[in-house]
Amino acid sequence: MTSVEIGRLYGVGLGPGDPELVTVKAARLIEAAPVVAFHSARHGRSIARSIAEPYLRAGQIEEALVYPVTTEAIADYRTVIEEHYDAWAARLAAHLDAGRDVVVLCEGDPLFYGSYMHMHKRLAHTYPTEVVPGVTSVSGASAVLGRPLVERDEILTVLPGTLPADVLAERLAATDSAAVMKLGRTFTTVRDALERAGRLQDAWYVERATTARERVAPLSTVDPADVPYFSIALLPSRVHEETASALRAAEPAVAAGEVVVVGLGPAGRDWLTPEALAAVEAADDLVGYGPYLDRIPANPRQRRHASDNKVEAERAEFALALAKDGGRRVAVVSSGDPGVFAMAAAVLEVAAEPRWKDVPVRVLPGLTAAQAVASRVGAPLGHDFCVLSLSDRLKPWDVIAARLEAAAGADLVIAIYNPGSKSRTWQVEAARDLLLRHRSPDTPVVLGRDVGGSGERVRVVRLAELDPAEVDMRTLLIVGSSQTRALDRGDSGTPVVFTPRRYP
């Protein structure tokens, strides 16, 4: 009878989340392994598997090690989970006994708070074993933050957020730098401990580092309700900050700053011009409506000042004061183009006051929402058009109606901003009925919502079928002229809409 050579166990670190941070060795072992094991929650999704997916191949045996519970907030958690570790180890041992190598996937580093270590303790003394280190979540978070954790003779302390608050506070007060793991439910305890240690203002929050859902923010600004388990609190190097501050202090004093009003385009970085991006990156302070500021990755060097969307004048005055009194380079960010129903006019209106005459103000254009929506269907703005807003917050409805009437009578294509909101529910219907007095019921109307964003939706309807219930503040309407055409070319679900350049 021929004996079977036993398989080899590999604990493979995957790094903090970006599949490109998986080591060459880890990728090779994952692809070659007959058996790949990974932990997952009861819903079946596995973060470890999602990171390793580019390196998996067809025909591999996958062993999902499903946690029976996801929280320690039950009386017999340790007993329950240890029983499952034993059962999982037995499953993997069966493969190893049959001569099949087993790769156990682990986020971060397998032996740094890694889930793999529980298999290692149960199997490494029986089977040939190799641990492949990975980039730790602490290293990933530090890289994303862009600050060193330790420098020269500093001491780094790594703490689990599950420690009691008084123990956390004592350790945080005594160390130079720190990383606190396992936030989630423990976030409030960790924040309170940082405050008690006098370190809260130095602390940074990093969530899902190196992934598409990455988030960086001063820890004091984070809402505890939004904190997942895969997040870290960091206290970066004190030496680094002291050196950087000294270098900044040695720079020549700036007599006065400037305000740059920047158009971010309709959505993320792909819609941002290089000129606008350079201005945002060079700024000392970023000022704007909260959701627009959220489009810009956090930079620890910069200060961010978010405000509500109904305080444009106050926002402008605040930006001008930062530039004048603090010599700061201030970027006031605006969606789309700042000169189209946005912040450029608000800033310049306030800057016209004599007290701000020495503060330079520049305006950098951005791609407008009208252009973005038009591009999704073709060229509805191919001939003469006008742009107007249906919001009656800053001008009365009779003025809006008169302008609509004039544009409709002139047979212009009309791009309509701010058509509706939770508090303005009747204007779209009124505008539609007014336009129908001048336009055919078959006139194409383009409805573009959140173009470029995750909730993008573009539809083309007849003017007579325009439903106000489909319209909100994130929707832009383009109403065609008598010459605008909508054609179904069969290559997409949305008709092509264009307005010919020649007018009969």
Determine the pLDDT at residue 1: 46
Q: How far is CA 470 from the centre of its chain?
A: 26
The rounded distance, in Å, linking the Cα atoms of 461 and 451 is: 17
The rounded distance, in Å, linking the Cα atoms of 197 and 200 is: 8
Confidence of residue 55 (pLDDT cuts 50, 70, 90): very high
Superfamily of domain 9-135: Tetrapyrrole methylase, N-terminal domain (3.40.1010.10)
Determine the pLDDT at residue 325: 79
Confidence of residue 427 (pLDDT cuts 50, 70, 90): confident
Q: Read off the DSSP letter of residue 358.
A: T
pLDDT, mean over the chain: 89
Determine the pLDDT at residue 221: 87
416 near 390, Cβ under 8 Å? yes
pLDDT higher for 2 or 237? 237
**Is residue 69's pLDDT more than 80?**
no
Q: Which of 257, 254, 253 is nearest to 361 (CA)?
A: 257
Determine the pLDDT at residue 438: 92
Confidence of residue 88 (pLDDT cuts 50, 70, 90): very high
Average pLDDT over residues 203-223: 89
C-alpha separations of 16 from 13, 23, 46, 177, 231 in Å: 9, 12, 14, 20, 11
**Is residue 192's pLDDT more than 90?**
yes
Average pLDDT over residues 442-464: 89
Reduced to 3 states (helix: H, G, I; strand: E, B; else coil), residue 287 is strand
The CATH architecture annotation of domain 254-367 reads 3-Layer(aba) Sandwich (3.40)
Order of all β-strands in the sheet with 444-449: 385-389, 413-417, 475-479, 444-449, 457-462
Query: Which run of H or of E encompasses 435?
Result: helix 427-435
473 near 467, Cβ under 8 Å? no
14 Cβ partners below 8 Å, 6+ apart? 21, 22, 26, 48, 51, 52, 105, 106, 107, 108, 134
Range list of H helices, 294-333: 312-326
334 Cβ partners below 8 Å, 6+ apart? 261, 262, 263, 264, 288, 292, 342, 343, 344, 366
Q: Which of 371, 372, 309, 302 is nearest to 346 (CA)?
A: 309
126 near 89, Cβ under 8 Å? no
List pLDDT tens digits, range 123-168.
999 999 999 999 999 999 999 888 899 998 999 999 999 999 999 9
Judge whether 9-135 and 138-240 match in fold: no
Q: Is pTM, for the whole model, over 0.95?
A: no
432 near 463, Cβ under 8 Å? yes
Determine the pLDDT at residue 474: 84
The rounded distance, in Å, linking the Cα atoms of 394 and 399 is: 11
List pLDDT tens digits, range 98-117.
999 999 999 999 999 999 99
The CATH architecture annotation of domain 370-498 reads 2-Layer Sandwich (3.30)
Determine the pLDDT at residue 259: 94
Between helix 397-409 and helix 427-435 the angle, nearest 10°, is 30
Following DSSP, what letter does each residue of 60-107 receive, concatenated?
-EEEEEE-S-S-S-STTHHHHHHHHHHHHHHHHHHHHHTT--EEEEES
The rounded distance, in Å, linking the Cα atoms of 106 and 48 is: 6
**Is residue 18's pLDDT more than 70?**
yes
Is 3.20.20.70 the CATH number for 138-240?
Answer: no
Determine the pLDDT at residue 24: 97
Confidence of residue 11 (pLDDT cuts 50, 70, 90): very high
8 near 127, Cβ under 8 Å? yes
Average pLDDT over residues 234-253: 70
Domain map (residue ranges) of the chain: 9-135, 138-240, 254-367, 370-498
